[in-house]
Amino acid sequence: MLRILLFVLVIANVASAIGVVYARHEHRQLFVDFKRQERQRDELNIDFGRLQLEQATWAEANRIDQVARNQLGMAFPSADETVVVRP
């Protein structure tokens, strides 16, 4: 009877040790994945900031005016070309 109890306790101890090893291994894998995703988040935030800056640059009024004049051939009408319509 004592041997059976000792055997059960040894098996329980080994199973517990295996469980601890597995839990630590899983924790390490999840931590590595977490750090990788944090790094990816930071890179995406940097890219987003660059894109916002680029969008602000392309949307400036003088840039739009320059593109309208150079690429589209647009210009402000002169005073004699302006017609005022009154109701």
Do residues 56 and 50 lie in contact, with contact meaning Cβ atoms separated by under 8 Å? no
User: What pLDDT, on the 0 to 100 scale, is given for residue 75?
Assistant: 87
47-61: average pLDDT: 91
Do residues 79 and 85 lie in contact, with contact meaning Cβ atoms separated by under 8 Å? no
| Per-residue tokens: 50 | 């660059």
40-69: average pLDDT: 92
Interval 2-18: pLDDT, tens: 999 999 999 999 999 99
User: What pLDDT, on the 0 to 100 scale, is given for residue 21?
Assistant: 98
User: What pLDDT, on the 0 to 100 scale, is given for residue 68?
Assistant: 87
User: What pLDDT, on the 0 to 100 scale, is given for residue 60?
Assistant: 86
67-73: average pLDDT: 89
